[in-house]
Amino acid sequence: MQRLPLPAFLLKPLGYPPVSTLPEERQKGLRVFWLDGLFASLSGGFIDSYYALYMLSLGASNAQIGLVNTLNQVAGAVMALPGAAIADRTGRYRFMSTITGLIARLLWLVMLIAPWLLPDAGAVWLVLLAWVLIAGVGTMGAAAWTALQADLVPARLRGAYFSSRNIVMQVVRLGVIPVAGLIVNWIGEPGGYQVNLGLAFAFGMVAVYYYSQIPEHVPSPHEQEQISNREILRNIRHMPLLMRFTLGHGVLMFGVMFGGPFISVYMAEELDFSVGTIGFVTTTSVLATTIGMRILGRIQDRYGITWTMRFGLGVPFITSAWLLVQHPWQAYIVSALAALTWAGYNLGAFNLLLAVTPNAHRPRYVAMHTTIISVVGAVGPLTGGVVLDAVGFTPVFLLSTVGRGLGLLLFFLLVREPDPVVEVDEDNADGEDVGG
């Protein structure tokens, strides 16, 4: 029997793969992880696209917007390895991800009450600190999260499964983001953002509950070989695909972080778009991502990871395209095209990371990759914010285009398709036929 997170007639259009041949425990894990994604996206839709605007409403400067993105990357670089080491040594991937997710949601409440606790500039700095801490604890649990999903989702189903999960996350965001913008328009600033933070917290706690229900195998002490970070670094030298992927992705992310965090600021300050309009621009992006994911999941399972990532060829031109925007309808077009080109790259990048890291000590290898990307990415928004305040948006967006283009060039020159993953056959463990 196939156990699904939603009725089959709702899941079939989303591309959820047949899982009836998997053991019941794994079906349950896939089901609750899928529902975790739904509610996590529902909660994030209320704030992820608006945190910079919330800070601006409290009086933040462009330099502070750049600083918060830089500190997010620094926090990620600092917290990734300790979090991975704890997960690797204990084998408790689910616990690590759940506790960090809970802390992150509680910090949303700190952001909510910041204007009541401190006046003006003090509130800005408290929101900034809370957002940075959210990034830090999120990264602390990210390696364990990635490792648990590698254990949970069979390699042959990853394209279809993760695309279906991403699709429902995008569909939910499609509805939530404009509603969040309208709430700000109706209530005003900063009160509307505070209401959104409260809603984000409530739905986020539901996501934490579902994630905590994922089954996991916790290895006994004699199963868990201890290894130092120095040995991990030594081993990485013999993993050329991981090294090449990290190099190309790191350069790309520098270009992205140099200009990307300032796109919403550009819409607000240069184009004079309202919060509601910015919300609808983001909604257009979500709709395009949904369409892209529905197609790309099957393409990846059929043609491979790096082939799917070729859809990212348009990524370098996104920030330059924003310089041509004058009216909201143009912003909708740019946002949709940007989302389509990112959909292929992002889906492939996550599955590539799973494919090029070994099962043994995967959290540590993922954390090494994350740390390098975070260190490189930290420089982007800091320098981008300084350049923005000095010479304006045009140089920042053009330099972002150059950095993105160089990163993609390195990626496609250096990275080849990883070898297929050989898995233990669990399909017929329960003796069931494929259903649905």
Q: Give per-residue pLDDT as tens, 102-117.
A: 999 999 999 999 999 9
Q: Please check whether residue 425 lies inside any domain of the structure.
A: no
Q: Please check whether residue 242 lies inside any domain of the structure.
A: yes
Check residues 25 and 2 and name the one with the higher pLDDT.
Answer: 25
**84-98, 228-242, 267-281, 322-336: which has the highest mean pLDDT?**
322-336
Q: Please check whether residue 12 lies inside any domain of the structure.
A: no
Q: Are the CB atoms for 118 and 405 separated by under 8 Å?
A: no
Tell me the residue range of the domain where 211 lies: 22-216+230-414
pLDDT at 434 (0 to 100): 24
pLDDT at 42 (0 to 100): 93
Backbone angles phi, psi at 50, to 5 degrees: -120, 0
Q: Which residues, including other chains, have CB under 8 Å from residue 12's CB and lie 6 or more apart?
A: 436
**pTM exceeding the 0.75 threshold for the entire prediction:** no
Q: Please check whether residue 136 lies inside any domain of the structure.
A: yes
pLDDT at 225 (0 to 100): 61
Rounded to the nearest 10°, the torsion over CA 97, 99, 104, 106 is: 160
Q: In whole angstroms, what is the distance from residue 133 CA to residue 126 CA? A: 11
Q: Please check whether residue 428 lies inside any domain of the structure.
A: no
**131-145, 201-215, 268-282, 417-431: which has the highest mean pLDDT?**
201-215
Q: Are the CB atoms for 278 and 284 separated by under 8 Å?
A: no
Q: In whole angstroms, what is the distance from residue 268 CA to residue 272 CA? A: 5
Whether 428 has a pLDDT exceeding 70, the answer reads: no
Give the residue ranges of DSSP H helices in 191-239: 191-211, 229-236
Q: Please check whether residue 10 lies inside any domain of the structure.
A: no
Other Cβ atoms closer than 10 A to 1: 11
Length of the chain measured in residues: 436
Q: What is the DSSP letter of 430?
A: T
Whether 224 has a pLDDT exceeding 60, the answer reads: no
Whether 215 has a pLDDT exceeding 60, the answer reads: yes
Whether 66 has a pLDDT exceeding 80, the answer reads: no
Whether 424 has a pLDDT exceeding 50, the answer reads: no
Element (H, E) at 49: none
For the record, the structure tokens of 65 come out as 């917007």
User: What's the total number of domains in the chain?
Assistant: 1
The CATH number linked to 139 is 1.20.1250.20
Q: Please check whether residue 420 lies inside any domain of the structure.
A: no
Whether 168 has a pLDDT exceeding 80, the answer reads: yes
Q: In whole angstroms, what is the distance from residue 90 CA to residue 217 CA? A: 11
Other Cβ atoms closer than 10 A to 237: 9
Work out the burial of residue 202: count CB atoms within 10 Å of its CB; fewer than 13 is exposed, 13-18 middle, 19 or more buried: middle
Whether 125 has a pLDDT exceeding 60, the answer reads: yes
Average pLDDT of the chain is: 85
Q: Please check whether residue 194 lies inside any domain of the structure.
A: yes
Check residues 155 and 197 and name the one with the higher pLDDT.
Answer: 197
